Amino acid sequence: MRMNSGRLFRVISRDEIFVTEIVKITQGESFRYENEDEQVLALILSEKLPHRSFQFNKAQRICKISPKYVGILELPTKIIEIFPRFETMGMKQVQMMYFFVNSIGVDALDYSEVFDLREGLINERIAKRFVRELANVMQKGLPHLYEEIKEDLDVIKGRIDLGKTYENIELQKSNPFHCEYSQTSLDNPVSRILGAALYKIETILPDDFVRFARYLPFCNVEEGKRLSDSYVISGREYNYSKALDWARLILYDLQVMSLGHGRFGSTFLIDLDRLFQDFCYKALKVFGKTNRLDVDLLVATPSIYYEEFDSPSREPRKIEPDVLYDLDEDSGIAEAVLDAKCKRVTLSPSDIYQIEFYSTCLFAKKCILMYPQRKKGTYHNIMKIRSELKSVHLKEIHAVYVDLTADTGKKFVSDTARFVKNLSDIILTD
**Banded pLDDT at 261 (limits 50, 70, 90):** low
Least confident of 3-17, 39-53, 226-240: 3-17
Give the DSSP H or E segment for 30.
strand 30-32
Phi, psi angles (nearest 5°) of residue 279: -60, -45
Model pLDDT, residue 322? 95
Residue 10 confidence (pLDDT) above 70: no
Q: What are the residue ranges spanned by the domains of the chain?
A: 4-141+188-273, 145-185, 288-428
Please tell me which of 178-187, 293-302, 389-398 the model is most confident about, judged by mean pLDDT: 293-302
Least confident of 182-186, 221-225, 406-410: 182-186
Least confident of 246-250, 331-335, 394-398: 394-398
105-136 confidence digits (pLDDT tens) = 545 556 555 555 544 567 788 898 899 999 98
- Looking at this protein, which amino acid is placed at residue 377? G
Give the residue among 186, 204, 193, 299 at the shortest CA–CA distance from 252.
193
Provide CB contacts within 8 A for 258, sequence distance 6+. Answer: 203, 264
Model pLDDT, residue 17? 42
Sign for the CA dihedral angle at 323, 326, 331, 337 comes to negative
> How far is the C-alpha of 163 from the C-alpha of 147, rounded, in Å?
23
Burial 393-412 (b: 16+ CB within 10 A, else e): bbeebbbbbbbbbbeebeeb
> How far is the C-alpha of 250 from the C-alpha of 123, rounded, in Å?
9
Provide the phi-psi class of 332: left if phi over 0, else alpha when psi is between -120 and 50, else beta.
Answer: left
The third-level CATH classification (topology) of the domain covering 288-428 is: tt1808, chain A (3.90.1570)
**Banded pLDDT at 16 (limits 50, 70, 90):** very low
Cα-Cα-Cα-Cα torsion 214, 220, 226, 228, nearest 10 degrees, comes to 40
Query: Side-chain half-sphere of 208: how many Cα atoms within 13 Å?
Result: 21
pLDDT, greater one: 285 or 185: 285
254, 268 Cβ separation under 8 angstroms: yes
**Banded pLDDT at 188 (limits 50, 70, 90):** confident
**DSSP count for the chain of H helices, then E strands:** 11, 20
Q: Is the pTM of this model over 0.75?
A: yes
Residue 15 confidence (pLDDT) above 50: no
